[in-house]
């Protein structure tokens, strides 16, 4: 089988909050009539330097045309020549780059083709199925202004009504406001709301995180995520000795994985397909497993194609430490598939169809087609939520 052409479409979708997210949807066509789907998700974190869609299209063609989609490692070898360092080294936050996300889009499209060609789900190629659903939690951004308290509590109420009761909360713009918000959350919803994690986003020194932890631990959560500055793995190790909560950090490259293992920095690696694709992230999962570190599945928030890739990864993992983070199909108002990946009762159902198990809806894709960046509308993210 050979890849004969690709289609790459830029789209915009709305989050529940009203902010927009931009994505590239990749279709990889073959000489046997099988088409694979890939997604380069939620690119708004690169707002200042969005990739040029035409340049990405030509680049992907250079790598994939004429190649066998089953030869995924050979594809990664080829990508490594052009997408430097996308997996060997990486920023600690966000835990992906345009290069690693392009690699992930190509990689997941190859796996989708393989599954469709052999009429089997993608997890077959990742070690086979261990579980048919993945525990998840829903993200809440920091309270920064008075209006945010009721807005966040309103989201929680809506989600509880939909059967979603596990959350993670980004802290640290203003710890006093975080404390007041978490008190209001417990006051209003009690134990009906589960808090998986407080995410410090690598914005604080570990000693400041420890002081915040001592004030916030009364509200009950399992995990502290990204608890010290960037690659302060020694600081994470210090903090880890002093708290009961598990320490989790994004791990998106071989060098980070080895540094965190050597420093005894964390209990949990937070890994995502966006760091370079399914084949690459399985290597991080294997490294963690062999080093006695647990793993959860992270996200940038994907549409159903990318969420399906994460679900197949989760389906194939020996163990998952705690609830994982991809909830794009709940969080986005729109999608590009006929039927969204199902999320209910705090779980993603692993798609059962061949390949990734989702079907592209060409009309929905066309309706969402839009330039990658639009400065006049609100983006999301802790640093620049506007309303
Ligand atoms: Mg995080």
CA of 3 to the centre of ligand 1 (A): 35
Instruction: Locate 56 and state its tokens.
Output: 């990405």
Q: What is the pLDDT of residue 381?
A: 53
Report the separation in Å between the CA atom of 168 and the middle of ligand 1, taken as the mean of its atom positions.
10
Q: Is the pTM of this model over 0.85?
A: yes
Distance CA(276)–CA(381), nearest Å, equals 22
Residue 379 confidence (pLDDT): 64
CA of 296 to the centre of ligand 1 (A): 11
Ligand 1 centre distance from Cα of residue 246 (Å): 14
Q: Measured in angstroms, how far is the CA atom of residue 281 from the centroid of ligand 1?
A: 17
Gap from CA of 267 to ligand 1 centroid (Å): 14
What is the CATH architecture of 3-121? 2-Layer Sandwich (3.30)
Distance 197 CA to ligand 1 centre (A): 9
Query: What residue ranges do the domains of the chain occupy?
Result: 3-121, 125-356
Give the distance (Å) from ligand 1 centre to CA of residue 9.
28
In the reported structure, the alpha carbon of residue 160 is separated from the centroid of ligand 1 by a whole-number distance in angstroms of 23
| pLDDT (0 to 100) of residue 383 | 46
Taking the centre of ligand 1 as the mean of its atom positions, its distance from the CA of residue 287, in whole angstroms, is: 20
CA atoms within 13 A on the CB side of 24: 27
Fold classified for 125-356: TIM Barrel (3.20.20)
Domains 3-121 and 125-356 share a fold: no
- Determine the distance separating the centroid of ligand 1 and the alpha carbon of 26, expressed in angstroms: 26
CA 248 to centroid of ligand 1, rounded, Å: 9
Q: How far is the CA of 318 from the centre of ligand 1 (A)?
A: 22
* Ligand 1 centroid to residue 33 C-alpha, Å: 39
Question: How much distance in Å is there from the Cα of 225 to the middle of ligand 1?
Answer: 6
Q: How remote is the CA of residue 63 from the centroid of ligand 1, in Å?
A: 31
**CA 113 / ligand 1 centre spacing (Å):** 31
Distance 47 CA to ligand 1 centre (A): 19
Which of 160, 169, 158 minimizes the C-alpha distance to 345? 160
Predicted local distance difference test score (pLDDT) of residue 269: 98
> Which residue ranges of the chain lie beneath pLDDT 70?
378-387
Q: Give the Å distance between the CA of 161 and the centre of ligand 1.
A: 26
Q: Per residue in 34-53, pLDDT tens?
A: 999 999 999 988 888 899 99
């Amino acid at each position: 089988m050979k890849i004969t052409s690709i289609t790459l479409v830029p789209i915009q979708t709305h989050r529940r909050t009203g902010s927009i997210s931009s994505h590239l949807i990749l279709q990889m066509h073959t000489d046997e009539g099988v088409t694979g789907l890939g997604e380069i998700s939620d690119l708004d974190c690169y707002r200042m330097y969005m990739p040029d869609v035409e340049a990405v299209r030509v680049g992907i063609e250079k790598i994939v045309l004429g190649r066998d989609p089953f030869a995924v490692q050979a594809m990664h070898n080829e990508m490594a020549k052009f997408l430097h360092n996308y997996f060997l080294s990486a920023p600690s936050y966000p835990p992906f780059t345009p290069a690693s996300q392009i690699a992930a889009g190509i990689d997941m499209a190859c796996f989708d083709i393989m599954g469709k060609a052999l009429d089997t789900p993608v997890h077959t190629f990742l070690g086979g199925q261990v579980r048919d659903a993945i525990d998840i939690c829903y993200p809440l951004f920091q309270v920064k202004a008075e209006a945010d308290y009721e807005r966040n509590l309103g989201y929680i109420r809506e989600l509880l009504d939909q059967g979603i009761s596990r959350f993670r909360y980004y802290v640290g713009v203003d710890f006093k406001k975080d404390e007041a918000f978490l008190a209001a959350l417990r006051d209003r919803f009690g134990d009906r709301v589960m808090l998986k994690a407080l995410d410090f986003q690598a914005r604080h020194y570990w000693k400041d995180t420890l002081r915040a932890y001592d004030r916030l631990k009364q509200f009950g959560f399992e995990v502290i995520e990204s608890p010290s500055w960037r690659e302060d793995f020694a600081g994470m190790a210090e903090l880890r000795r002093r708290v009961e909560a598990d320490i989790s950090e994004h791990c998106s490259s071989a060098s980070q994985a080895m540094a965190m293992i050597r420093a005894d920095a964390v209990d949990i690696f937070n890994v995502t397909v966006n760091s370079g694709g399914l084949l690459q992230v399985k290597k991080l999962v294997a490294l963690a497993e062999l080093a006695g570190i647990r793993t959860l599945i992270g996200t940038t928030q994907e549409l159903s194609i990318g969420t399906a890739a994460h679900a197949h990864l989760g389906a194939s993992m020996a163990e998952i430490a705690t609830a994982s983070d991809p909830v794009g199909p709940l969080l986005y108002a729109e999608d590009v598939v006929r039927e969204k990946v199902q999320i209910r009762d705090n779980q993603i159902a692993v798609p059962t169809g061949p390949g990734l198990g989702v079907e592209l809806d060409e009309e929905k894709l066309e309706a969402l087609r839009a330039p990658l960046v639009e400065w006049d509308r609100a983006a999301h993210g802790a640093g620049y939520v506007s309303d």
